[in-house]
Amino acid sequence: MTLLAIDKLSVAYGDLFAVREVSFSIDEGIVFVLLGANGAGKTSILRSISGLTPARSGSVMAEGKSIVGFSPHEVARAGISHVPEGRRIFPNLTVEDNLIVSFIPARAPMPAAQALAAVYALFPRLAERRKQAGGTLSGGEQQMLAIGRAMMNFPKLLMLDEPSLGLSPVLADLVFERLAEIKRQGTTILLVEQNATCLELATRGVILANGHVVLAGDRHALQDSDFVRRAYLGV
Ligand SMILES: Nc1ncnc2c1ncn2[C@@H]1O[C@H](COP(=O)(O)OP(=O)(O)OP(=O)(O)O)[C@@H](O)[C@H]1O
Ligand SMILES: [Mg+2]
């Protein structure tokens, strides 16, 4: 089943078109990757899906229903969670309170305590730091917390904006490995990255340049493309 379908989506800031007629669709259960360099329009696409930045034109359908014009809150209730660029967490709340404030009882198939335990099973580091203020966590731990907060919503679709940014290669691998586990547990993932190592966990995706889709295909097609070799692997 198609979970999310984007058709001819355009996003503009005044006269500047950041996203031009981008189309793709995401089947349930996969990891879909949106790869592109700085300024390609990746964040604009995620923000537009989330209702944070209005689409100039085009359609966004979640499970066959239009979500264009939905507020960010309505999009979250429709089962789409967004882990934004720069991992926004509450710095003065403890790790545990950061997680609890993200819990939406109406969406949850289990009580908050069980949902917390599931997040701690994914990220044992967060369990060790449960009483610590979010702002005192390391960059990698804050990324885990940002992902954990999104998981407290029990999303059907988890969208992440460059989760590996600023992390060491080892920590980036750990985050990607946890995303693979989240996929195994049944959550569909839309992953925005510049880091081509994320293709290891991709099912399929698109490469974006200057707001356009320049290549769409499965993981192997993306990995084998000249574009990825040149732009991302430096060969
Ligand atoms: N609020 C805004 N006002 C004006 N221009 C914007 C705004 N947000 C983004 N842009 C422009 O839109 C284009 C796409 O930006 P976007 O943030 O979507 O790219 P990106 O692919 O996420 O880049 P990065 O990898 O650097 O995060 C850029 O040229 C950017 O300068
Ligand atoms: Mg961005």
Q: Which of 138, 154, 170 is the last residue of a domain?
A: 154
- Is 163 in the same domain as 230? yes
- Is 10 in the same domain as 63? yes
- Is 75 in the same domain as 166? yes
Please count the structural domains in the chain.
Answer: 2
Q: What is the mean pLDDT of residues 173-195?
A: 95
- Is 115 in the same domain as 176? no
pLDDT over threshold 60, residue 234:
no
Chain segment 54-94, per-residue pLDDT in tens: 999 999 999 999 999 999 999 999 999 999 988 789 999 99
- Is 171 in the same domain as 184? yes
Q: What angle do CA 147, 143, 215 make, to 5 degrees?
A: 75
pLDDT over threshold 60, residue 99:
yes
Q: Which of 154, 174, 194 is the last residue of a domain?
A: 154
Distance, CA of 27 to CA of 125 (rounded, Å):
31
Hey, how many other C-beta atoms are within 10 angstroms of the C-beta on 219? 16
- Is 190 in the same domain as 234? yes
pLDDT of residue 230: 72
- Is 163 in the same domain as 195? yes
Ligand nearest to the CA of 54: 1
Chain segment 193-223, per-residue pLDDT in tens: 998 889 999 999 999 999 999 999 999 999 9
Q: Which of 154, 185, 208 is the last residue of a domain?
A: 154
Phi first, then psi: give them for residue 139, nearest 5 degrees.
-55, -45
In the numeric block, which tokens belong to residue 20?
């031009």
19 in ligand 1 pocket by Cβ < 6 Å? no
pLDDT of residue 107: 84
pLDDT over threshold 60, residue 147:
yes
155 in ligand 1 pocket by Cβ < 6 Å? no
Distance of CA 220 from the midpoint of ligand 1 (Å)? 28
Task: From the CA of 42, give the closest atom in ligand 1.
Answer: 21
pTM reported for the whole predicted model? 0.95
pLDDT bin (cut points 50, 70, 90) of residue 233 is low
Containing structural domain, residue 187: 1-79+158-235
Q: What is the mean pLDDT of residues 7-19?
A: 97
User: In the predicted model, what is the mean pLDDT of the chain?
Assistant: 94
Which CATH number belongs to the domain containing residue 34 in this structure?
3.40.50.300
